[in-house]
Amino acid sequence: MPVNLALERGRAYLLSLQREDGHWCAELEGDTILESEYILLMFFLGRLGEAKIAKAGQHLREVQLAEGGWGKFPGGGPDVNSTVKAYLALKLLGDSTEAPHMTAARRVARRLGGLEACNSFTRIYLAIFGQYPWSRCPAVPPEFVLLPRWVPFNIYEISAWSRAIVVPLSIICALRPRCEVPAGCGIAELGRECAAARDDPSESLRGATWRRFFRLVEVALKIYEKAPLRGLRRRALERARDWTLERLDKSDGLGAIFPPIVNSIYALRALGLEADDPLVASQVRELERLEIEESTTLRIQPCFSPVWDTALALDTLLDCGLAPDSAPARRAAAWLLDHEVRTPGDWSRKSVGGQVGGWYFEYANEFYPDCDDTAQVVTSLTKLRHPDQAEQGRIEAAILRGTGWLDGMQNRDGGWGAFDRDCDREVLTYIPLADHNAMIDPATVDVTARVVEAYLRSGRAPDSPELARALDFIRRQQESDGSWYGRWGCNYLYGTWLALCALRQAGEEPTTRPMRLAARWLEDCQNDDGGWGESPESYSDPESKGQGASTASQTGWALLGLMAAGEPESFAVRRGVD
């Protein structure tokens, strides 16, 4: 049978990728902001002359869009931040402004609004290199790390990824390191006219009110920045420094991901540490581990994904017939158990009394386990049957700790976010700095659905209080067309697949209205070739949900969703399998 043959070949290939110690780790792709910021940082550290830096520039040239800019994802249009940073990076590498690719890039950057259209992060990086006034960058005072927990805007109310980015960023903004670019390498030609802030006429009254409020706060902070209280500023800088250094322990760099690592290097240098200081050098090494150098190009991964890759690979192989007591399964389980979190991290600030446990995404990131990885690891481990009773007991104890940790992470609304509990103060999305990234980490259907599966696999009853609240959350989040939004995958196809599987596993019949509505939506999204696809454009434009060129992964998600909805033999499923 073609299906069985494809399964066997796929299983053999996946097994061939398993590392000797039992884990899997594939390349994690990112956009060109990674290479651009890498080049800028290496210039800041005085290392621009190294051959590999030139290779990063060549990668930028090779992936430039035909119209001249750089985008955020394959198939997407040009992005002003990506384009401005790539343009500056290539000028530092010596590319002539008269070269066709630079002329086209400049034209696109100006069409998109130039420097004034860039987000807060880009402006701050440009200010470090003298290409944008610090006075027009958002205020990020380090004093905010001193705010007590009862203040609504303390650092533990913002998302974990933003927290790891912003704390070292506050050091940068307070000390304002400066790195002059050579004559002729500036980017004033991209335009720096000051554009007045305008309100979005479609924004709600509440949103517009908060945005105006934070503009006033920004004005007050800018006044304070001109003459900060010395004692308070010194104490704040010390706390921000200590906070950053504490989180380098048992971690592959701050947050084990590119943006915080880069910011920590700028921050440590701003604090007076030399480039060869062991602390600075250690963070540069973590950055260099993310390099993928080839004969003529170099690209950067945002981070590593071994826990996620291993849990998914193990789960897939076990579902495809790999014996649950086989050597590959045992090696994978042992590796996952060795990467379980055993010390409290930032999450414990809100999960008061919560059990220590869980798993992170990367090789080492002890402060930041996440609910998505933890749920998937738990699900995968439940399918193992270790021949050694002691090892099986170790697996079962880890499952118990993992679900116990998840218990403490359930939000008030019944769902789960990624890294923190009840990190959902929407007001924080209106602060000026919020244009750089998602400032909050609310519950999402996709993560919640994975937790539901983990609970059910580990023996939790469907009518238990935790599961009842979670399933109610999932049902409430269904959109009128039948789809579900999936924050951590792309996007509505991802969310709909996971929601349908969670509901079915919990005992919901395929004949219910939510299941039928979702199945119809998936069938309506099927492409003429039989597959499914969705562009990341759907995050900013929901009208494009479920639309895009067919991909294997997204077709798989849609098929799993339809099967969960009771249609394993439907015509749509058969076309999708083909």
The pLDDT tens digits for 108-155 are 999 999 999 999 999 999 999 999 999 999 999 999 999 998 888 899
pLDDT for 226 = 85
230: pLDDT strictly greater than 50:
yes
CA distance readout (Å), 125 to 36, 40, 165, 183? 11, 9, 13, 18
Least confident of 57-61, 190-194, 295-299: 190-194
Instruction: Report how far residue 401's alpha carbon sits from residue 338's, in angstroms, rounded to the nearest whole number.
Output: 14
What mean pLDDT do residues 377-397 have? 96
101: pLDDT strictly greater than 70:
yes
Q: pLDDT tens-digit profile of 531-578? A: 999 999 999 999 999 999 999 999 999 999 999 999 999 999 999 999
Q: pLDDT tens-digit profile of 416-439? A: 999 999 999 988 888 887 776 689
Provide the annotated active-site residues.
372
Other beta carbons within 10 Å of 82: 25
Instruction: Report how far residue 135's alpha carbon sits from residue 543's, in angstroms, rounded to the nearest whole number.
Output: 38
- Non-local (6+) Cβ contacts of 182 within 8 A are 92
Instruction: Report long-range pairs for 516-520 (Cβ below 8 Å, ≥24 apart).
Output: 516/565, 517/478, 517/481, 517/482, 518/478, 518/482, 518/483, 518/484, 518/561, 518/565, 519/482, 519/561, 519/562, 519/565, 519/566, 519/567, 520/482
Q: Hey, what amino acid is at 534?
A: E
Least confident of 281-295, 339-353, 427-441: 427-441
pLDDT for 159 = 95
Judging by beta carbons within 10 Å of its beta carbon (0-12, 13-18, 19+), is residue 310 exposed, middle or buried? buried
198: pLDDT strictly greater than 90:
no
What's the pLDDT band for 195 if we cut at 50, 70, 90?
A: very low
What mean pLDDT do residues 440-464 have? 96
Q: pLDDT tens-digit profile of 493-515? A: 999 999 999 999 999 999 999 99
| 551 φ/ψ angles, rounded to the nearest 5 degrees | -130, 155
194: pLDDT strictly greater than 50:
no
Helix (H) or strand (E) holding 39: helix 33-44
What's the pLDDT band for 200 if we cut at 50, 70, 90?
A: low
What's the pLDDT band for 219 if we cut at 50, 70, 90?
A: confident
pLDDT for 202 = 62
29: pLDDT strictly greater than 90:
yes
Torsion sign, CA atoms 570, 573, 577, 578: positive
- Rounded to the nearest angstrom, the gap between the alpha carbon of residue 132 and the centroid of all alpha carbons in its chain is 27
517: pLDDT strictly greater than 60:
yes
Find the Cα–Cα–Cα–Cα dihedral 457, 463, 467, 469, rounded to 10°. 170
| 441 φ/ψ angles, rounded to the nearest 5 degrees | -135, 70
pLDDT for 436 = 66
Higher pLDDT, 225 or 489: 489
HSE-up (13 A, CA, CB side) for residue 56: 33
Strand partners, 73: none
Least confident of 114-128, 345-359, 375-389: 345-359
Instruction: Report how far residue 475's alpha carbon sits from residue 243's, in angstroms, rounded to the nearest whole number.
Output: 39
307: pLDDT strictly greater than 50:
yes
**Pair type for strands 298-300 and 291-293:** antiparallel
What's the pLDDT band for 213 if we cut at 50, 70, 90?
A: confident
CB 138 within 8 A of CB 197: no
pLDDT for 201 = 60
- Give the N- to C-terminal CA distance of the chain in Å, as an integer: 12
Higher pLDDT, 27 or 432: 27
What mean pLDDT do residues 31-54 have? 97
pLDDT for 220 = 82
Max alpha carbon distance in the chain (Å)?
A: 75
96: pLDDT strictly greater than 50:
yes
Q: Which of 560, 545, 551, 507 is nearest to 532 (CA)?
A: 551
Q: Which two structure tokens, joined as six digits, stand for 240?
A: 């921000």
Least confident of 98-102, 349-353, 528-532: 349-353
pLDDT for 153 = 84
214: pLDDT strictly greater than 80:
no
What mean pLDDT do residues 251-259 have? 96
Q: Which of 440, 514, 426, 509 is nearest to 472 (CA)?
A: 514
Other beta carbons within 10 Å of 175: 17
Q: Which of 68-72, 198-202, 217-221, 222-226 has the highest mean pLDDT?
A: 68-72
pLDDT for 319 = 95
- Rounded to the nearest angstrom, the gap between the alpha carbon of residue 24 and the centroid of all alpha carbons in its chain is 19
Higher pLDDT, 229 or 415: 415
- Non-local (6+) Cβ contacts of 97 within 8 A are 91, 103, 106, 189
316: pLDDT strictly greater than 70:
yes
What's the pLDDT band for 227 if we cut at 50, 70, 90?
A: confident
What's the pLDDT band for 199 if we cut at 50, 70, 90?
A: low
What SS3 class is residue 370? Answer: strand
What's the pLDDT band for 192 if we cut at 50, 70, 90?
A: low
CA distance readout (Å), 269 to 317, 368, 540? 46, 25, 36
Q: Which of 301, 359, 554, 539 is nearest to 438 (CA)?
A: 539
What mean pLDDT do residues 33-62 have? 97
Instruction: Report how far residue 573's alpha carbon sits from residue 556's, in angstroms, rounded to the nearest whole number.
Output: 10
CA distance readout (Å), 80 to 30, 63, 112? 16, 15, 6
- Identify each DSSP E strand in 181-290 by its residue range: none
193: pLDDT strictly greater than 60:
no
